[in-house]
């Protein structure tokens, strides 16, 4: 592995990781996500989980949504799209701040109320399994010909956002920007997605348990 690879650090056994973002300080729990590949090498990997923050921390959701809205506003989106479920609260708040009346959510399964739908399959690094992302017929009609921003809480490999781009594109929407609270790990270039913070991937070698240097 290249020395100094961005957003990749050795795992030191700690149970939490302090983040500072938009003037806020929080402790995120470190959780295992199994085995990942970086530059054709296999590593045991851990992430700092933001689930509690983005699902229930009202101050955090308000502050980061305000900052994201500032960066998204120049692209003049007409609708925000996001995956279920961690990005929903932030998507609501960003939409509200931008004066966007309705946002759309790609559900993680086909629901009984869907008379018709479009779907894609995505493999997320955090889940480790294939997942469906589904737009119902109302969302498909609504996004057609609209300037669309895609939001997620964390972007690591970019697979989820790319999957939603495919859904929006197939529905006739026009992607004008991508945004997230954090960019995580080494896979995505900084300018690929609007973001206001970064999170590392914590790794240790699989076979001999030797830990790599920063």
In a domain, 5, yes or no: no
In a domain, 189, yes or no: yes
Q: What pLDDT, on the 0 to 100 scale, is given for residue 153? A: 98
Structure tokens at 29: 């729990």
Distance between CA atoms of 30 and 202, rounded to whole angstroms?
Answer: 9
Give every CB contact of residue 120 below 8 A, 6+ residues apart in sequence.
Answer: 132, 133, 163, 164, 166, 167
In a domain, 168, yes or no: yes
Distance between CA atoms of 67 and 103, rounded to whole angstroms?
Answer: 18
Segment 70-116, tens digit of pLDDT: 999 999 999 999 999 999 999 999 999 999 999 999 998 888 888 88
The DSSP 8-state label assigned to residue 1 in this structure reads -
Share above pLDDT 90 across residues of the chain, in percent, rounded to a whole number: 81
Strand 147-155 with 194-199, pairing = unpaired
CATH number, residue 144: 3.40.50.2020
Residue 113: domain span: 57-197
């Amino acid at each position: 592995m290249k020395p100094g690879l961005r957003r990749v650090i050795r795992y030191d056994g700690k149970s939490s990781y302090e983040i500072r973002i938009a003037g806020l300080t929080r402790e995120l729990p470190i959780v295992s996500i199994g085995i990942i590949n970086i530059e054709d090498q296999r590593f045991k990997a851990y992430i700092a989980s933001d689930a509690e923050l983005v699902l229930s921390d009202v101050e955090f959701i308000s502050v980061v949504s305000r900052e994201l809205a500032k960066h998204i506003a120049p692209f003049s989106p007409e609708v925000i799209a996001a995956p279920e479920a961690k990005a929903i609260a932030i998507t609501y708040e960003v939409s509200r701040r931008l004066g966007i009346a309705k946002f759309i959510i790609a559900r993680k399964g086909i629901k009984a109320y869907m008379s018709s739908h479009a779907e894609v399959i995505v493999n997320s690094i955090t889940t480790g399994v294939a997942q469906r992302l589904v737009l119902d017929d109302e969302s498909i009609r609504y996004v057609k010909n609209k300037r669309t921003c895609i939001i997620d809480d964390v972007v690591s490999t970019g697979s989820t956002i790319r999957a939603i781009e495919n859904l929006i594109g197939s529905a006739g929407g026009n992607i004008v920007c991508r945004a997230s609270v954090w960019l995580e790990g080494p896979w995505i270039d900084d300018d690929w997605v609007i973001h206001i913070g970064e999170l590392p991937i914590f790794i240790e070698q699989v076979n001999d348990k030797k830990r790599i240097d920063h």
